[in-house]
């Protein structure tokens, strides 16, 4: 059994890149590939960011 990879936290720079790519219309799989992350990690980060979006303006559509 392989040891689990250590979890990497998202940086502010990665959050900004994630927002830009999502607004540009890329799929979760495309974003994950471009950012070197798992699709599930991208999806969960978008959910987390949407939860803390003060404007509630669908800035991070999933």
Cα 11 to Cα 16, 57, 60: the distances in Å are: 9, 22, 16
* DSSP letter string, 9-43: PPPHHHHHHHHHHHHTT--HHHHHHHHTS-HHHHH
pLDDT the model gives residue 59: 55
Q: What does the pLDDT profile of the chain (62 residues) look like in tens digits?
A: 878 777 889 999 999 999 999 999 999 999 999 999 999 999 999 999 988 776 555 555 55
pLDDT the model gives residue 46: 95
pLDDT the model gives residue 1: 81
């Amino acid at each position: 059994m392989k040891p689990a990879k250590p979890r990497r936290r998202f940086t502010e720079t990665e959050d900004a890149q994630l927002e830009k790519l999502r607004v540009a219309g890329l799929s979760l799989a495309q974003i994950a590939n471009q950012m070197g992350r798992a699709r599930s990690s991208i999806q969960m980060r978008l959910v987390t960011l949407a939860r803390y979006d003060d404007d509630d303006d669908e800035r991070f559509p999933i």
